[in-house]
A and B are shown apart, each in its own frame.
Chain A
Amino acid sequence: SSELTQDPAVSVALGQTVRITCRGDSLRRYSVSWYQQKPGQAPVVVICPKDNRPSGIPDRFSGSSSGNTASLTITGAQAEDEADYYCSSRDSSGNHNWVFGGGTKLTVL
C-alpha cells in the first residue's frame, strides 16, 4: 500500500491565495484528484486527474503536480471554500486500489 500526506490544517485570509499540498510515492505514477467536503455533506470533486476542473467548479480552484507532490491552489479564497480537502490517487502497488490523504481543514479568516 502507499500513503498520501497532507498538512492537517491551513488558514487563509478572505480573498487571498492558499495552496494545499499532498505528497506520496503514488503521485509519481498516478494522477491526483482533489475533493472538498463540508460538514455533514458528501465529498465533491474539485480537481480531476491531470489538474482539470469539473464543470461547475469555480476557476479559482486549480491543481498542479510535480514528482511526488501535488497541490491544490485556491486563488482569492471565499468564505464558502472553508471545508476539508482530500487528495486521492491510485495505490502505487498497482493493484487497482485507491488511497486518500488524511485531509486538510481549510479555515478562511
Chain B
Amino acid sequence: EVQLLESGGGLVQPGGSLRLSCAASGFTFSNSAMSWVRQAPGKGLEWVSSISTSGSNTYYADSVKGRFTISRDNSKNTLSLQMNALRAEDTAVYYCAKEQWLVRVLDSYFDYWGQGTLVTVSS
C-alpha cells in the first residue's frame, strides 16, 4: 500500500523558515518524480514544486522560486521542502504527491497524495 506521510508543519513568523518532510513507502521511491502541492484555507490547489527521480531536476512555481528548495533522499525514501523567507500568503496545507508517468500517453498525473501538513505564517 502506497503511503505518503508529511511532517514538519507548524506556526512560524513572517520571514522565518520551516522544513517539511514526506516519508514514502509502498512503492519504489527512486522511480517516481514527486511534487508538493498546497492549499490555502478555503482555496483551491496550487502546485508548488516538483523534483525528478534522481533529484537532478527541480521545478518551482513563480510564487516560491528563490525561497523554497525541494530535495529528495532516495536512500531514505524521503522528500523534503525547505521553505525560507515565509510570507503570510504561504499559509496552507502542504501535500506531498507522487507522480505517475504513463508511457502510452507520454504524460503524467498525481496518483497518490499524502494527508497534508499545515503551515501557518503569522506573527
**A positions within 8 Å CB-CB of B:** 1, 30-31, 33, 35, 37, 41-45, 48-50, 54, 84, 86, 88, 90, 95-103
Contacts and interface: CB of A to CB of B under 8 A. Distances in A.
Given A42-B95, A43-B95, A49-B102, A54 B111 contact: yes
A1 B105 contact: no
Q: Please give me the 3 A-B residue pairs with the lowest Cβ-Cβ distance, nearest first.
A: A33-B109, A98-B47, A42-B113
Interface of B: 35, 37, 44-47, 50, 57, 59-62, 95, 100, 102, 104-105, 107-111, 113-116
B57 A96 contact: yes
Contacts of A102: 44
Contacts of A42: 95, 113-116
B50 A43 contact: no
Contacts of B109: 31, 33, 45, 48-49, 88
B107 A90 contact: yes
Given A33-B110, A43-B113, A49-B108, A97 B59 contact: yes
A31 B105 CA distance: 8
B113 A98 contact: no
A30 B111 CA distance: 17
17 contacts: A1-B62, A30-B107, A41-B115, A42-B114, A42-B115, A42-B116, A45-B111, A48-B100, A48-B111, A49-B108, A54-B111, A88-B109, A97-B50, A98-B37, A98-B50, A101-B44, A103-B45
